[in-house]
Structure formats: structure tokens, C-alpha cells
Amino acid sequence: MKMIAQIAVIAFVIRLSACAAQPVSPTYTPQLLSNTATTSAAEQPSETAPTEPDATDTAAGETPEDQSLSPEETYETIAAVHANILLVESWLIQGISDNQREAMLTPIAEMSIAPLADIFQAYMPQPSLAESWQQAQNLHNRFYPQMAAWLNGELAEDDFAEALIALKIESNQMITEADQIAYQEFGIDVAEYQPDYALAMDIVFALAATAPGDLAGPRQLTDLLAASEAEPNPDLLVREVTPVIYQFAGSDLLLLIGLVENTGTENLELVEIEAQFFDVDDAYLGTLWGTTASVLIKPGKTYPFSASLVIDGDDTEIREQWQSYQVSAAAHPLSYAPQAYYHEFDLVLLAVIENEPGEYTIGGSLTNLGTETVDSRDVFISAAGFDAGGALVGVGKGAAIQESVLNPGDSVPFEVVIQTGGEEPVRYQFFAEMLIVPE
């Protein structure tokens, strides 16, 4: 007997017209983000990066033995909770469609909001900020489940907005007290985090890398990969890298898309992408992280990837000063046999709607061609868009838009939102994948 694992896996290649070959353009030039950017990006990682990021008290992926945080780390974790509440409030004010909620906001929530639960469990705060830390943990424990329910469509938007008003009042009081302690006792320049405290979100990626435990809310991709570390793999070839800046929910987002080919002979599991940006003097400006559009990476196959970053605080330097970037790829060893990945889906394109310049909603139908009965919520869908010359111009994620049990032969509508640099794709390649683990 088999059961469907409650795990968020992202996607495997299924073409709308059964075309399995991945198009590759050998002479694709990355799009420049500003007039000052005159150096095209190196598409292969070099042996040594020009300038490494400044070291912090606790580097990404490393934590002190006693798991105690510095005053700066404690303050930033508290501020990150406040930043999340302000961010989600801005989503509500801007007005969010069901497509954007499923395809764009949920991944953001999973990457930058949900991991705070693990951080609160895994680390000890600086004693002077312990009370604010406890308040932040309490706020997050109430805020995240309601936000997850709203994202999943289980909580009405009006009800969530009402709850968010009360949470924001408490959060404003919390951050005011934390600002005062951080500045007066430790000399932390709290002004650089205001008004939206988005700069504090870097601490989530720095600390969550080693924080143990399960995350609440929507199924997490990290659940699948918790038992292993991604390692650089010489068989991974990165090409057709393109950076794009676009507006979303009142913020500038930097999106990096490209292709990764597994040139080796072994199956790999989820390729992680790291892109470091540098200025004209090769000084480090910032890093983007992302993943491929498929968890199972088969030998000889090519998969699109995407990585993104909200450009705020110090990250605005990337937009204004970048001259080059370096992209590296690392892969996880297999956690499950390749047979555990269920790819028996047919995806058919039905409609393309331009929401705004550079943003397209792709509608289609997904059919279960296999012998398993599956839940549509466990099927993770993405798509890549290509221009007339076969060059990659957009990558996006989506999902089925109806919750239903899919028996063999059953179909369900799906939607994917794709961001491009402005050019409308003329051809699409779809990905759909889920994981079935033997009981």
C-alpha cells in the first residue's frame, strides 16, 4: 500500500504536446538591469569568488555550540517578525488575486516566514532582549497559522485582515521596545531597518539553515531535504542566465532565471542555485538563492531554475551598482528512489493572459495518466517560457486551482504565473511532480 507524502515538491518536465527535449540557445546574453551594468555575468562558477561577504557573528549554516544569539541576531529575528506582518499587510492593501496567492506569495511565505518557527525553537536570545523575543515568538505563533490559512483559501480575507489589525498593534509595541533596547544598550543602528524592517529578513536565511524541527503551515520543500546537505557537483552545467527586475506588491523583486543540465550519469535531488552579485571593483553586493523546477534531476536532462530577492535596504545596491555575477549549482544526494517520484501527468495549455507587462497567467488542464489516485494539492506545477528563437525568457510556479481527488484519467484545471523581462513567451514547457512514499 502507498500513501501520498505531505511534502512540497516542485516539478518535473511534462510538455503540453509531449515534447521532452529542452531547447537550448548557445548565444543568449543576460539582460542588464541598469545602464551602469556593462559586464555580462559569468555563467559558470569560478574557483574563487572576487570578494567574499563580510563575516558575521554567526555565518550562514554555522551556529555557536550553545545556540545563543548575539544582540544583533536577536534583534533582527524580532524585527523579522514585525517585517512579515508589515509585508503581508501590504499584500492585502495592494489586492492579491488567487493566482498570485498560490503561485507567488505561498513560496515567499515558505522561504522567509515559516522558518522563523524553527529559529525560535533552536536558539536562545540575548538576555536583555528576551522579553521582546518571547513577544515575537508569540506573535509569530498566532500570525503564521492564520496567514497560511488565508493563503490556502481556508480563511476569508476580511477575517484575516481583521486579525492582522490586532497583531500589528501588538507588533508595533514590540518593535518600539526592541528598538529602544537595541539602540541604548548595544548601539545597534535601528534606523537603517525602518520603516519596513525588510533588512532584518536576512537573518532568517542565515539562521534557518541549521535550525531543526518541523515547520507549521503549508507543506515545505525543506521537509524533503532536511536529512542532507547540498554539495557542489561538477556534472551540473549552468547556462542562459538572465536577471530581471519587476514590481510586485509595492516592492522591487530581482528575479534570476536560467537552465541547469545534469551532464552526469546519476540521478540527483533538487539543485540549489546561488548567485552572487559584484560591483565594478569586484566587491560583493548580495546573493540570490533558488531551486530548479524539478526535485528529481535526471542524467542528461536540462531544467529551468529561478532565484529571487526583494530589493530593499542594503540590497538596493545590487540594482544600482552590479557589474557581474557568478552562479553556482549544488545538488542533494537522493533521499528517495527515483521510482518514488510520480510524473504521470499530461498538461495541456488552454489560455495565456497578460496581467501586466512582463507578467502572464498560464491556464491549462492537468490529467492523471498513471495508475495512482492522487490529491491535486500534492501536485506541484511550474512552467518555463521560451521565445521564437528557443531562448528561455520566463519561469514560474503554480498549482491546481481546484482541490480534488484525481483518479486515473481525471483532470483538473491549473494556473501558473510567469514573470519575464517584458517579452511574451511563444512556447511553454510544463513541469508536474509529486512524491509517493511506500508505507
415 DSSP β-pair partners: 363, 399
Q: What is the pTM of this model?
A: 0.53
Which residues 6+ apart lie within 8 Å of 250 measured at CB?
Answer: 90, 94
Q: Are residues 344 and 282 in the same domain?
A: no
User: Is residue 51 situated within a structural domain?
Assistant: no
User: Is residue 235 situated within a structural domain?
Assistant: yes
Q: What are the φ and ψ backbone dihedral angles of 116, each rounded to 5 degrees?
A: -60, -30
Q: Are residues 192 and 321 in the same domain?
A: no
Q: Which of 332, 355, 381 is the last residue of a domain?
A: 332
Q: Which of 283, 298, 332 is the last residue of a domain?
A: 332
Q: Are residues 320 and 342 in the same domain?
A: no
CA distance 349 to 191: 49
By CB neighbour count within 10 A (0-12 exposed, 13-18 middle, 19+ buried), where does 409 fall? exposed
User: Is residue 115 situated within a structural domain?
Assistant: yes
289 DSSP β-pair partners: 274, 308
By CB neighbour count within 10 A (0-12 exposed, 13-18 middle, 19+ buried), where does 161 fall? middle
Q: Are residues 129 and 184 in the same domain?
A: yes
What CATH number corresponds to the domain at position 391? 2.60.40
User: Is residue 278 situated within a structural domain?
Assistant: yes
Cis omega (within 30 of 0) for bond into 195: yes
Q: Are residues 183 and 106 in the same domain?
A: yes
Q: Are residues 293 and 276 in the same domain?
A: yes
What CATH number corresponds to the domain at position 270? 2.60.40.10
- Residue 132, C-alpha cell as written in the block: 521582546
Query: What length is written for the chain?
Result: 439
Strand runs labelled E in 235-358: 236-248, 251-262, 268-278, 284-292, 296-297, 302-311, 324-332, 341-342, 345-356
Q: Is 189 helix (H, G, I), strand (E, B) or coil?
A: coil
Q: Are residues 303 and 423 in the same domain?
A: no
Q: Are residues 293 and 239 in the same domain?
A: yes
- Residue 229, C-alpha cell as written in the block: 546537505
pLDDT of the chain, 439 residues: tens digit per residue: 333 332 223 232 222 222 222 222 222 222 222 222 222 333 333 232 333 323 333 333 333 345 788 999 999 999 999 988 988 887 777 666 665 565 556 666 766 677 788 888 888 899 999 999 999 999 998 998 888 888 777 888 888 888 999 999 999 999 999 999 999 999 999 988 888 887 887 787 677 654 443 332 223 344 444 446 778 889 999 988 888 776 655 567 778 889 999 999 988 887 888 888 888 888 888 888 888 888 888 899 999 988 877 666 555 677 778 888 889 999 877 776 677 788 899 999 988 888 777 888 888 999 999 998 988 878 888 899 999 998 899 888 888 877 788 999 999 898 888 888 778 899 999 989 887 765 5
Q: Are residues 344 and 326 in the same domain?
A: no
Q: Are residues 299 and 325 in the same domain?
A: yes
Domain count across the chain:
3
Q: Are residues 185 and 311 in the same domain?
A: no
By CB neighbour count within 10 A (0-12 exposed, 13-18 middle, 19+ buried), where does 393 fall? buried
Determine the structural domain holding residue 81 and report its residue range: 71-209
Q: Which of 289, 313, 332 is the last residue of a domain?
A: 332
Strand runs labelled E in 101-140: none
Neighbours of 410 (CB within 10 A): 14
348 DSSP β-pair partners: 365
User: Is residue 20 situated within a structural domain?
Assistant: yes
Q: Are residues 205 and 78 in the same domain?
A: yes
